């Protein structure tokens, strides 16, 4: 058995144990949740307190929109997923759940550096109180050692160091638990899923980082031509399985950068099935890095999942498909064209030797009586009005019927979404490659917690959440900041309320002479039970 397969099986057993622990936690959902205390939003109660002069804190509302999102997290049950032990902790000044949620809010706010945390995150008292930090903790920190020092409510390094104290199994359990909750609530209704991998480069000093060396063509000024050089990259690889329409990452794995994607296709599929249920994945769109005959056979014949994947130029089945470009066999060869696009569908090619079950893999592919299993192919012969030269056509393999080859290309075209939307958004918008600490565990924790927030924001379907999902996180942050700059968050001991400046002036008994934006003070008072 290959080393990668052994590691995958071991990790699968660990994930199963984590899943069972999660189920046990879920069975105790009626117990009081003790990870931290949350303030609740109560506009009427806070309005009455303001009029009576009985309130504790008042803060600007730049990130006041987060209250609805935090309520969403609590409603779907995600906060319980954060209730993990943290195997690297011997003693705690702060609950693990609060640390994890604090870091995830740091991700949501797009804070790229831990050096920015004290000002941008810990400097927002209103936000900290929403997260459950008490006024005393915000003022004096969590322990006597921090009293009087500028590291309240905790030192930024404490937040970064926390990432190094969680096992991969604990972190994957958080992601998988969140996906399971979203699936049960009906957020994932897709039947088509996308699989891809993206590199998370680090430096060679990063503890636990992998290493890969690849050839790269660069222009040589000296030789005045393209030359190939070897480029070595250190880091990790993030493998993703994503639903097409809902844009939920249903399974993920962080490995060393040199790991082959082939070793993780089936473990990711199995984990996704555990998370969202059997029979939900009907079609898988895969990158050629996952090309493996046994894997593809298992997908189709064990999991009953159809697939589309590009073939490699060096494969015999690719050459056989290209050789049938001009063939005229109405039972095996199907042609379609559309606006400068021409494709050919080919039925039952048997030259993909490795396509078969484990018994098939043990056969001698070179013996005279060897018989390959049939696989269908779709070949692009013309793209955007330009014909491919013979021997250079794009070839795709599939388990689907091929009588309408354009439909195969249209389906696979959707796979680019995971590259264009997910991978790029995760790196540019969610800063998934901005690792706060150069260790394997920290990389895994940062990546997994980022994926959790990516999933939850895509599932969040209030007005604000819809904008967050559709517009992208970067654009949304800018627009939200503009819209909420006039809002005020007011805290009592148990509750908070969010009011704009005009509403606050009405409550304190000093209303302006003229109101803007059609504000009706009488209707406002009636809505809040004020006579």
pLDDT of residue 15: 61
pLDDT of residue 128: 79
| Residue 232 and residue 309 in one domain | no
Task: Tell which residue, 487, 516, 512, has the closest CA to residue 68.
Answer: 487
d(CA 56, CA 39): 13
Q: Is residue 153 scored above 90 in pLDDT?
A: no
Condensed to tens digits (0 to 9), the pLDDT of residues 161-181 reads 888 888 889 999 999 999 999
d(CA 531, CA 529): 6
Task: Tell which residue, 371, 219, 401, 241, has the closest CA to residue 306.
Answer: 401
Q: Which two tokens stand for residue 399?
A: 């388990």
| Residue 282 and residue 421 in one domain | yes
Please check whether residue 107 lies inside any domain of the structure. no
Task: Tell which residue, 412, 415, 2, has the closest CA to residue 243.
Answer: 415
Q: Is residue 29 scored above 50 in pLDDT?
A: no
| Residue 219 and residue 258 in one domain | yes
| Residue 196 and residue 232 in one domain | yes
Please check whether residue 119 lies inside any domain of the structure. no
**Of the listed ranges 43-47, 433-437, 486-490, the one predicted with least confidence:** 486-490
Domain ranges, residue 270: 191-287+417-439
Please check whether residue 481 lies inside any domain of the structure. no
Please check whether residue 238 lies inside any domain of the structure. yes
pLDDT of residue 159: 86
Task: Check residue 56 and report its DSSP letter.
Answer: -
Q: Is 18 within 8 Å of 168 (Cβ atoms)? A: no
Phi, psi of 286 (to 5 degrees): -125, 145
- Which span out of 275-279, 455-459, 470-474 was modeled with the highest average pLDDT? 275-279
- Which span out of 96-100, 129-133, 239-243 was modeled with the highest average pLDDT? 239-243
Q: Is 258 within 8 Å of 222 (Cβ atoms)? A: no
Please check whether residue 258 lies inside any domain of the structure. yes
Q: State which H helix or E strand residue 108 sits in.
A: helix 96-108
Q: Is residue 273 scored above 60 in pLDDT?
A: yes
Q: What is the mean pLDDT of residues 207-236?
A: 86
Domain count, the chain: 2
What is the number of alpha carbons within 13 Å of residue 182 lying toward its C-beta? 31
Angle of helix 473-484 relative to helix 463-471, nearest 10 degrees, comes to 140
Please check whether residue 156 lies inside any domain of the structure. no
| Residue 345 and residue 369 in one domain | yes
Q: Is residue 221 scored above 80 in pLDDT?
A: yes
| Residue 333 and residue 424 in one domain | no
Q: What is the mean pLDDT of residues 221-235?
A: 86
pLDDT of residue 513: 78
| Residue 205 and residue 267 in one domain | yes
| Residue 324 and residue 394 in one domain | yes
Pairwise pLDDT comparison (529 vs 297), residue with the higher score:
297
Please check whether residue 113 lies inside any domain of the structure. no
Q: Is residue 231 scored above 70 in pLDDT?
A: yes
| Residue 369 and residue 422 in one domain | no
Q: Is residue 485 scored above 70 in pLDDT?
A: no
Q: Is 121 within 8 Å of 62 (Cβ atoms)? A: no
Alpha-carbon dihedral sign for residues 467, 468, 471, 474: positive
Confidence of residue 306 (pLDDT cuts 50, 70, 90): very high
Task: Check residue 312 and report its DSSP letter.
Answer: P
Please check whether residue 149 lies inside any domain of the structure. no
Q: Is 402 within 8 Å of 408 (Cβ atoms)? A: yes
| Residue 305 and residue 404 in one domain | yes
Task: Check residue 439 and report its DSSP letter.
Answer: B
Task: Please state, for a pLDDT cut of 90, what percent of the chain lies above it.
Answer: 40
| Residue 227 and residue 319 in one domain | no
| Residue 259 and residue 330 in one domain | no
- What's the whole-number average pLDDT of the chain? 83
d(CA 206, CA 203): 6
**Of the listed ranges 35-39, 233-237, 315-319, 416-420, the one predicted with least confidence:** 35-39
d(CA 375, CA 396): 10
């Amino acid at each position: 058995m290959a080393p990668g397969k052994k590691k995958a099986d071991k990790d699968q057993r660990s994930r199963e144990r984590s899943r069972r622990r999660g189920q046990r936690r879920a069975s105790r959902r009626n117990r009081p949740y003790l990870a931290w205390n949350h303030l609740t939003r109560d506009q009427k109660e806070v309005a009455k307190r303001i009029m009576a002069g009985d309130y504790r804190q008042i803060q600007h509302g730049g990130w006041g929109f987060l209250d609805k999102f935090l309520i969403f997290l609590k409603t779907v049950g995600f906060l319980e997923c954060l209730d993990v032990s943290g195997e690297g902790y011997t003693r705690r000044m702060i609950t693990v759940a609060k640390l994890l949620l604090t870091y995830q809010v740091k991700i949501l706010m797009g804070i790229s550096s831990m050096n920015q945390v004290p000002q941008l995150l810990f400097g927002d008292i209103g936000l900290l109180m929403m997260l459950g930090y008490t006024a005393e903790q915000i003022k004096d920190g969590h322990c006597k050692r921090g009293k009087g020092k500028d590291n309240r409510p905790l030192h930024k390094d404490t937040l970064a160091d926390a990432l190094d104290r969680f096992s991969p199994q604990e972190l994957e359990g958080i992601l998988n638990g969140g996906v399971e909750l979203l699936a049960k609530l009906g957020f994932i209704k897709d039947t088509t899923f996308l699989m891809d991998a993206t590199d998370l480069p680090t430096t060679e000093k990063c503890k636990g980082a992998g290493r890969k060396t690849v050839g790269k063509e660069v222009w040589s000024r000296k030789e005045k031509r393209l030359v190939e050089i070897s480029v070595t990259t250190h880091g990790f690889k993030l493998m993703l399985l994503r639903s097409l329409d809902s844009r939920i990452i249903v399974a993920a794995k962080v490995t060393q950068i040199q790991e082959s994607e082939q070793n993780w296709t089936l473990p990711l599929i199995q984990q996704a099935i555990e998370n969202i249920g059997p029979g939900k994945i009907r079609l898988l769109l895969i990158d050629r890095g996952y090309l493996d005959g046994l894997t593809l056979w298992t997908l189709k014949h064990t999991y009953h999942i159809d697939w589309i994947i590009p073939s490699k130029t060096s494969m015999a089945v690719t050459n056989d498909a290209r050789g049938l470009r001009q063939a005229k066999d109405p039972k095996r060869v199907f042609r379609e064209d559309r606006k400068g696009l021409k494709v050919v569908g080919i039925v039952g090619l048997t030259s993909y030797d490795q396509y078969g079950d484990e018994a098939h893999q043990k056969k001698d592919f070179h013996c005279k009586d060897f018989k390959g299993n049939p696989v269908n192919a779709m070949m692009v012969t013309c793209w955007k009005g330009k014909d491919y030269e013979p021997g250079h056509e794009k070839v795709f393999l599939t388990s689907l019927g091929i009588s309408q080859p354009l439909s195969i290309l249209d389906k696979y075209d959707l796979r680019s979404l995971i590259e264009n939307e997910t991978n790029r958004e995760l790196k540019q918008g969610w800063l998934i490659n901005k690792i706060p600490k150069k260790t394997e565990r920290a990389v895994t924790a940062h990546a997994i917690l980022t994926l959790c927030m990516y999933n939850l924001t895509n599932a969040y379907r209030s007005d604000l959440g819809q904008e967050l999902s559709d517009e992208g996180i970067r654009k949304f942050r800018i627009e939200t900041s503009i819209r909420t700059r006039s809002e005020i968050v007011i805290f009592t001991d148990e509750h908070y309320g969010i009011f704009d400046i005009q509403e606050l002036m009405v409550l304190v008994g000093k209303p302006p002479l003229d109101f803007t934006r059609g504000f009706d003070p009488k209707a406002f008072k009636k809505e809040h039970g004020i006579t």
